[in-house]
Structures are given as structure tokens and as C-alpha cells.
Amino acid sequence: MNMLAGRFLFWLKETDMPTSDQRAQLAQTDNEIFLALKGEEARQRTGLELIPSENYAFPEVMTLLGSAFTNKYSEGYPGRRYYGGQDYTDRIETLARDRAKALFRAEHANVQPLSGSPMNQAVYLGLLEPGDTILAMDLSHGGHLTHGAPVSHMGRLFNFVRYKTDPATGAIDFDHLRAVARETKPKLVVCGYSSYPRDYDYADFKRVADEAGALTMADVSHIGGLIAADVMRNPLDAGFDVMTTTTHKSLRGPRGGLILCKNAFAKKIDASVFPGLQGGPHMNQVAAAAVTFRLAALPAFKDYANQVLANAKALASALTERQVKLVTGGTDNHLLVIDTVASFGIDGAAAQEALDRVGLTTNKQVIPDDPNPPMRPSGLRLGTPAPTARGMGTEDMAEIGTIIAEALAANGDRAIEEKLAARTRVLTSRFPVPGL
């Protein structure tokens, strides 16, 4: 045996170890990173994630993200790759596509987008021409950066016009939406949100788009899991041309994007993803998405999704009972938005910091027509997918609502905050983080 082969075999022996041994090796070779990992694990165990876009991935997902699929480059699509050695990558991508189509009742699925932003960009670039008009929800009224915010590249490449919510109710103003569509004649109507606490009637959007001669796209990144479980409406059932969703958030899968569309747009969408926008997909991510779609089709996931909705309503009730003002007055989905200025006289950034100190992770949030700057907005966004994944129910939401209200009313009193932090630790100790 030559020296190079001997070194190679030594490397195999040293690295092909059980997970616990691999962690021990990391502690020895890069202790700074190891300590950060341990710290994050402890933070997740003892605290509680309440950001609506965050969740705990299925343990099977975590396994696949660190699997051998990480090593494989797979430019192209199943049966049409540019590199060899694709027997198993073709198999997992085909399974992922087929499972996604069955789960969402879609004609075509592309599972390669690396995340939510390139997913939406691929749709715009695949179906439209630069300068075309797109009608989408205003960022401050619940939309997303990828829905044409001026700071995004897509906002500069396309002509985005925006619809808003009714100031009196907080609900989407369909009269305004229809008027804007008639005036601007968009090529695409986008419905979707990142901080809108209500459900959509997708048929209403479809009628507005049809009147304008526009295509329809629904970005359901936040509620993809709730749609998969059939506890919220599916835009494809209303005849939408395209639906996009991230595969994490309420789906509990890997961080990634999924495009579902009618067969008529399949070739354009696929070409827009590859080679138009990106190279090789992350096959560990695709494999993890495939197992996610299988798990999301099981009865247990429907139970989970129903509990997410029940928990959101319970949390909203717990807060409103304490005279906390919620944007739109409540929620139909997994999230709610607190007007922290009206409720406690503090901005959303200060509220986020106060809740961090009691072990509750939230995010500051712009509210409709917010007079405050984005980094010191007037609101705070909360969601229930993550606590539900830990097994928490409506009674636990009442406790969380109490901790939130008392922490934000404490005006920075550290003694009160420490007592509330202890209550958070007691609560989280009863509900282990899946996979940790």
C-alpha cells in the first residue's frame, strides 16, 4: 500500500464515525464553532421560537441535510444531467416532484429553487419581460420583499404596483385592488404575504386578474404546510397559474423553494430555474424536501396544522383579553401582529429586545402605513408553528400570552423580566425540541 492510499484510508477511519464522535471531533478541531453550536442548541431548548417563519425541522430532514447527497453536483433535471453518477439523485428529485404534485394537487413541480427569493424571481423572469407590470401587496401592509419592494432587484427590474389593506378593518381592500388592476393592466397578479393575519379568497383574486387579462401567482411561503394539510384554501383549486412556497416554515422541511404551476408553464419555469437563474441544486435539500412532502401527507400532519391554527387563535385571545391591540383584530392563520406602540407605548424593536430577555424569540414588524422607520417599527410579529411542533396546545398559548403582555408592560424592569424568564424555562422544559 502506498503512502497516499494509507493516508486516505486513515482519513476514512477518522471521519466515518457516529454522529457523537463527529461532534467530539468538531470540538477538537474547531472549538469556536462547536461552542456556538452548543450555545444555539441550548438557546432553542430553553427558549421558544415565536417568529412565524421559523420552525423545527423534522428529524429526518436534519439527517438528510448532513448526508452524502451534500457531496453531489446535479446540474440539469432527472434524465438530463450534465454530470455522471446521477442514479440516486435522479431518484430523489423524481420522488420529490411527484410527492409535491400529489400533496398540492399540482400539474407540475420544480423542487430546485435554493430558497424563497430565487423561487419568486424564477417565476417573474420565466413568465414576464423586464418592465412588465406586476400587481402585488404593499410591503408595509403585509407583503414581502420579493413582491417588488423598491430595495429589491426585482423591484427595479419590473414595474410593481401595489394594493393595500382597508385602514378601518385591516383586511385587503378589494375595491382598491380592482381599481388598481383596471388602471395599470398588470401582466401578473401576486397574492401572498409575510405579515397578513387573515386568509385569502383566491377566487376573488382570480376574478380581478381575469378582468385585467393577467396571470395569477400565489406566494404561500408562510402557509404552505397549512395548505398541504388542507386546513387552509389552496390557490391551485381556484385556478391559479402558479403557486410558490418555501419548504420550511409551516412545512417543517429544509430551507428551500418549491414552484408549482400548470403544465402550460412548466418548460418556461424549469428553464428559468436552470439554467436561467442557478446552477446545480442542493441535492441534500431536495432529498429532505422529498421526505417532508411524504410526512406532510400523513394524518398526523393534518392534526399538527389544525393545532397551529387553534394555537394562533388562543394566543390572539390571550393577548386581546389583556387589551393588547392586534392588527386586523385577530388572525385566521398561523400569525398575528401586535401594535406595540398603541398597546405599550414602545416600538417593535424595543418589544423584541424585551421578549428576548424573557426567552421568547419574536421579530419587529412594520404595520400598515407605519409612521416609524423599518428598524424601529410600530409592530411585533408572532407565530405558532414552532411551539406547536414542540407539542404545545391552547392552554400553553394562554401562558405565553400572559408572559408577553407582562414583559412588554414591565418597562424594562429586570426583576420582573427575570421572573418571566423563569416561567418561560419551566414551560419549555416540558416540551423538548424535535431532533435536539
Number of compact structural domains in the chain: 2
Kindly tell me if the per-residue pLDDT of 10 is higher than 50: no
Q: Indicate if 73 belongs to the active site.
A: yes
Question: Do residues 149 and 139 make contact, with C-beta atoms less than 8 angstroms apart?
Answer: yes
Q: Which of 72, 164, 187, 249 is catalytic?
A: 249
User: pTM of the prediction?
Assistant: 0.92
- Position 3 scores a pLDDT of 42
Residues 246 and 324 grouped into a single domain: no
More reliable by pLDDT, 388 or 144: 388
Q: Which of 49, 173, 219, 396 is catalytic?
A: 219
Residues 237 and 344 grouped into a single domain: no
Q: Which of 75, 201, 230, 332 is catalytic?
A: 75
Residue 12 lies in a domain: no
pLDDT band at 19 (very low <50, low <70, confident <90, very high): low
Residues 386 and 409 grouped into a single domain: yes
pLDDT band at 264 (very low <50, low <70, confident <90, very high): very high
Q: The domain containing residue 142 runs over which residues? A: 68-296
Domain end position, chosen among 264, 296, 328: 296
Q: What is the mean pLDDT of the chain?
A: 92
Q: Indicate if 384 belongs to the active site.
A: no
Q: Indicate if 356 belongs to the active site.
A: no
**Residues 19-47 as b or e (16 or more Cβ within 10 Å = b):** eeeeeeeeeeeeeeebeeeeeeeeebbeb
Q: Indicate if 219 belongs to the active site.
A: yes
Contacts of 129 (CB under 8 A, 6+ apart): none
Q: Which of 73, 88, 94, 325 is catalytic?
A: 73
Residues 194 and 282 grouped into a single domain: yes
Report the distance separating Cα 392 and Cα 430, nearest Å. 9
Kindly tell me if the per-residue pLDDT of 5 is higher than 60: no
- Position 268 scores a pLDDT of 98
Q: Which of 246, 340, 362, 424 is catalytic?
A: 246
- Name the percent of the chain lying above pLDDT 90: 83
Residues 250 and 291 grouped into a single domain: yes
Q: Indicate if 163 belongs to the active site.
A: no
Q: Indicate if 75 belongs to the active site.
A: yes
Nearest to 223 by CA among 187, 198, 260: 198
pLDDT band at 2 (very low <50, low <70, confident <90, very high): very low
Domain end position, chosen among 275, 296, 317: 296
Q: What tens digit of pLDDT does each residue of 328-358 get?
A: 999 999 999 999 999 999 999 999 999 999 9
Q: What tens digit of pLDDT does each residue of 368-381 get?
A: 888 999 899 999 99
- Position 143 scores a pLDDT of 67
Residue 358 lies in a domain: yes
Q: Tell me how many helices (H) and strands (E) the chain has.
A: 18, 14
Residues 313 and 240 grouped into a single domain: no
Question: Do residues 115 and 309 make contact, with C-beta atoms less than 8 angstroms apart?
Answer: no
Q: Which of 255, 364, 381, 390 is catalytic?
A: 255
